[in-house]
Structure 1
Amino acid sequence: MTSRTARRPVLFDHDGALDDLLSLLLLTQYDTVDLRGVTVTPADCLPAPALSATRKILELTGLPHVPTAVGELAGRNPFPLVWRVDALRVDALPVLNRREPATPPVAPSTTTAAGPPAGALPAHERLAAWLLEAGEPVTVLATGPLTNLAWCLDHHPEVEARIEEVVFMGGALDVPGNVDQPGHDGSAEWNVYWDPEAAKRVFDSSLPITLFPLDVTDRVPVTTAFAHAFGRHYGKPLSDLAGSLLALTFGTLETTGLPYCCWDSLTTSYLAEPGICDFDVVHCDVVTEGAGQGRTVRDAAGRPVRSAVAVDPDRFYRHCLDVLTR
């Protein structure tokens, strides 16, 4: 493992939902993280506004040089459209539109032996190129489905040696899933359900995986107190954006019956403050067919993953406030 006295090189693969974008905001503020690139998977978002919001957040935080790419690979089970439009709302927030963006929607990059400029490559190919170009092992933070990474493993198996750790928000081990779709038994979590084969491919690799399943991430809901706490710092762009992202989650419980939780931002906080969660080794596998497709199951013969098993919610909320209001 890389020494944590150095900045950890990170590639961030997200799918453009509210908590994914809050995760990006956190990542930009971690002095322990060297953000090398960001890819957008077209899962829980409309890809164009999700990419645009991503670029604007990088502009806002002084990181316009970080390259980005948008995905084109589709999973088997699409997210509901009513969820995917959140990126449209974020892209229109005044705090992200105080001036015209200084960079194009996809950051330019010099041509390398791994391929043409970043703007010419879709996310899965761009992720592979970044990994192949990496001069040191890289952490892949995935807060959306694992489709892009699975493609990299299939088409460029040598990238496996370039990855130090996969930090993944996904799965539900000992709790019900959050998928409520006709013909499904409700046991799966959406990031795995969107593309079960991709999750299975990554889990079947030898990559070190640190998993943040619903068992833990559901314990950090977006509370009124947490969202309102950012209001006391009104006038600071980062806290204004964080508070707006949290405010946009309100109404989720009333319309879906499920609370909105800090699934992705808790996962992201691990890169800066791993002590927020406790971990244990869990052997598990991914179901790819039938009424339970996308389910992550405990299996004594399955692959070992390092899974978060407990969380200190108050410490997590304090962490977010400290990082985004300082």
Structure 2
Amino acid sequence: MQNIYFNHDGNVDDLVSLLLLQMPDVNLIGVSAVGADSYLQPAVEASRKIIDRFGQQTNLEVAASNSRAVNQFPKEWRLSSFSFNNFPMLNEQSKIETKLAKQPAHLDMIEKLQNTAGLTTLVMTGPLTDLARALAVDPTITKKIDRLFWMGGTMNNQGNVAEPEQDGTMEWNAYWDPEAVKTVWDSDIDIQMVGLESTDQVPLTKKLRDHWASLRRFPAVDLIGQGYALVLSYEANSTYYLWDVLTTVSSHYPDIVTSKKVTSDVLVEGPGAGRTFITPTGRPITLVTSVDKDAFFTQIDELASGAQLNPIKCKKAIEENIFPSIAFLILILILILLITVR
């Protein structure tokens, strides 16, 4: 059983990743969300609702991050978190059962890591700020981390940031807080980086959308298809990729990717702030370089089609919907009887 702590930044790809983390042989010890490529409140609520709907573990909490951006994501990208949170599938139950953690994300991360037996895999699909802050509070957590799987960075100087006074060589999760990336790079955590050079190999295409549409009889696949429908508008000027899902799935199924060891560092100042780059004087990391696309998409299908609805929480949702309807029918019958008697 693999212990995983999942820290994400709340956009469609992150929430689909959380859905897929309800996978066999995973002990999901904690979940936290940061308002980076999303807004915090809908990202946290949607996370709790996904766990309500599909989670198979008890006592799982979601922590809200209070980390702040150095460079904030575009507002237009972040808005999809509100739409995802309002999907009818996630709102059949009026009350969210999954608890909100009492501590902010970086402290929740420390608590969950230190209180879990054995080592834990960190899967982070947003900025590294919460981990950097956790390291500042308690550097000993590195002894509890098996490996960090991070979606962020690129080693080919072809980034996806097109902002004024920037040179375009950095990836957004790194650009959000360059100092945090540097802090993590300066630690002794074993890092597997899933950067743009590999995620660019798994674009969101019409063929893929149509494939998921053909499988919408499975609730989790239906939710995935609805989620990715929100990012259709991006394709007018850019392509959406399965950045976070590749990171998440490869953390448990490593054979779907090919990687190599490189030595690297992070630039924290100037027009290239956030750039990750290969250098002989840098620290060693594992860089994912290619993807077995067929195996990757097959694994998504298997996980999503096999995702089981939470029987207890779904029963509550059904009762909330059915019981008021039954009461209303009984009232109608009583009125009919009274009218008939008169």
Deviation at 1:104, TM superposition (A): 5.7
Report what 2:149 is aligned to.
167
Task: Map residues 107-118 of structure 1 onto 2, 5 A cutoff.
Answer: 118=101
The one-character-per-residue Cα deviations of 1:280-323 (angstroms, maximum 9, x if unpaired) are 00111010000000000111110010111111222212211122
The one-character-per-residue Cα deviations of 1:161-190 (angstroms, maximum 9, x if unpaired) are 111100000101015100010000000000
Counterparts of 2:43 and 2:280, CA distance in 1: 39
Counterparts of 1:207 and 1:319, CA distance in 2: 28
Aligned counterpart in structure 2 of residue 265 of structure 1, from 204, 220, 245 = 245
Q: Residue type of the partner of 2:161?
A: V
Deviation at 1:98, TM superposition (A): 1.8
**Aligned 8 A contact 2:151 2:247 in 1:** yes
Report what 1:66 is aligned to.
60
Counterparts of 1:238 and 1:309, CA distance in 2: 29
Report what 2:281 is aligned to.
301
Report what 2:254 is aligned to.
274
Report what 1:113 is aligned to.
none
Aligned counterpart in structure 2 of residue 45 of structure 1, from 38, 49, 59 = 38
TM-score for both structures, normalised by structure 2: 0.86
Q: Residue type of the partner of 1:101?
A: K
Counterparts of 1:284 and 1:312, CA distance in 2: 25
**Aligned 8 A contact 1:171 1:214 in 2:** yes
Structure 2, unpaired ranges of 5+: 307-342
- The answer to which of 293-302 and 168-177 deviates more is 168-177
Q: Residue type of the partner of 2:45?
A: S
**Aligned 8 A contact 1:145 1:195 in 2:** yes
Aligned counterpart in structure 2 of residue 247 of structure 1, from 229, 233, 236 = 229
Q: Residue type of the partner of 1:282?
A: V
Deviation at 1:258, TM superposition (A): 2.0
The one-character-per-residue Cα deviations of 1:250-296 (angstroms, maximum 9, x if unpaired) are 12121xx2200000000111133211110100111010000000000
Q: Residue type of the partner of 1:197?
A: E
- Structure richer in helix, relative to its length: 2
Deviation at 1:235, TM superposition (A): 3.3
**Aligned 8 A contact 2:192 2:285 in 1:** yes
**Aligned 8 A contact 1:33 1:271 in 2:** no
Matched positions, count: 305
Structure 1, unpaired ranges of 5+: 1-6, 107-117
Q: Residue type of the partner of 2:254?
A: P
Q: Residue type of the partner of 2:4?
A: V
**Aligned 8 A contact 1:43 1:78 in 2:** yes
Counterparts of 2:151 and 2:33, CA distance in 1: 15
**Aligned 8 A contact 1:230 1:325 in 2:** no
Report what 2:163 is aligned to.
181
The one-character-per-residue Cα deviations of 1:185-237 (angstroms, maximum 9, x if unpaired) are 00000000000000100011111001101000011001111122122222332
Task: Map residues 134-283 of structure 1 onto 2, 5 A cutoff.
Answer: 134-254=116-236, 257-283=237-263
The answer on 1:56 being equivalent to 2:49 is yes
Report what 1:111 is aligned to.
none
Report what 2:9 is aligned to.
15
Aligned CA distance change for structure 1 residues 235 and 100 (closer, same or farther; 3 Å): farther
Report what 2:324 is aligned to.
none
**Which stretches of structure 1, 4 residues or more, deviate above 4 A after TM superposition?**
none
Report what 1:112 is aligned to.
none
The answer on 1:25 being equivalent to 2:19 is yes
The answer on 1:289 being equivalent to 2:269 is yes
Q: Residue type of the partner of 1:276?
A: I
Deviation at 1:105, TM superposition (A): 5.5
**Aligned 8 A contact 1:32 1:271 in 2:** no
Counterparts of 1:172 and 1:102, CA distance in 2: 38
Identity fraction in percent: 36
